[in-house]
Amino acid sequence: MDRSLFLAPALEVAPLLLGARLTVLGSPESGFSGAPVTLRITEVEAYHGVGTPGPYDAGSHSRDRRTERNASMFGPPGHAYVYFSYGMHFALNMVCSPEGAASGVLIRAGEIVAGADIARSRREAGRSSTPKPDRQLARGPGNVASALGITRPTHDGLDLFAAPFELRAAPIVSKRIAAGPRVGVSGEAGSSTFPWRFWIDGDPTVSAYRPGRNVPK
């Protein structure tokens, strides 16, 4: 995959990431060595912020200004923006647009195509639950981050084209791309006015749609 792709706004980049392979190596304790986990991306969402053309995106972390929390979203394109969501889990975004402008693609779901045993052990750590089927290992942004071992302290701001990441374009571009409103986003930003969620239609790893609060009918 060419880094220059990420110079475009997230809305243009998002559907092009479907089918791409993202590999994350080891842990920081091991110097990012060890067995990798690879995700085939099947669901994404685009978010625009300050400096990126288009309508005001009230669902974006960078909608109004740069802060300590969202600083990576204003950073170099092709880098990671990782945030802690609802005090529960991390979420991985790929930064788009030229540095200084803010936009990003949230990785919402995917298929673990290598390292499934590692991903499963991370998902089930500390839990006495029934083993997760493969299709659920990385369904939903929090599960994506958990399966890949992504955290904000370790991965926020890192280059997606250097260790511990490896990003490869989809070997075959899917012809089954669907689009619709983003999951759980409140107000107009979560309505059909913003069909900024993209997924591979019919793929069993894609998460279920859930509308946000006060979304106009």
- The string of pLDDT tens digits covering residues 103-150 is 999 999 999 999 999 999 998 876 656 778 899 999 999 999 999 999
- The string of pLDDT tens digits covering residues 203-214 is 999 999 999 999
26: number of Cβ within 10 Å:
17
Rg (CA), the chain: 16
Please provide residue 188's backbone torsions phi and psi, each rounded to the nearest 5 degrees. -60, -30
33: number of Cβ within 10 Å:
12
Task: Tell me whether residue 211 is in a domain.
Answer: no
pLDDT value at residue 29: 57
Task: Tell me whether residue 216 is in a domain.
Answer: no
What is the domain-level CATH number for residue 148? 3.10.300.10
| Helical ranges in the chain per DSSP H | 10-13, 116-123, 141-148, 152-155
pLDDT value at residue 34: 66
Task: Tell me whether residue 214 is in a domain.
Answer: no
pLDDT value at residue 171: 86
Task: Tell me whether residue 212 is in a domain.
Answer: no
- The string of pLDDT tens digits covering residues 17-61 is 999 999 999 766 555 556 899 999 999 999 999 999 999 999 999
Cα(141)–Cα(147) distance, rounded to whole angstroms? 10
Cα(102)–Cα(51) distance, rounded to whole angstroms? 6
pLDDT value at residue 33: 58
**DSSP structural state of residue 182:** P
What pTM does this model have?
A: 0.94
Range of the domain at 176: 3-200
Task: Tell me whether residue 129 is in a domain.
Answer: yes
- The string of pLDDT tens digits covering residues 62-103 is 999 999 999 999 999 999 999 998 778 999 999 999 999 999
Structural domain total, the chain: 1
Task: Tell me whether residue 70 is in a domain.
Answer: yes
Task: Tell me whether residue 217 is in a domain.
Answer: no
Task: Tell me whether residue 25 is in a domain.
Answer: yes
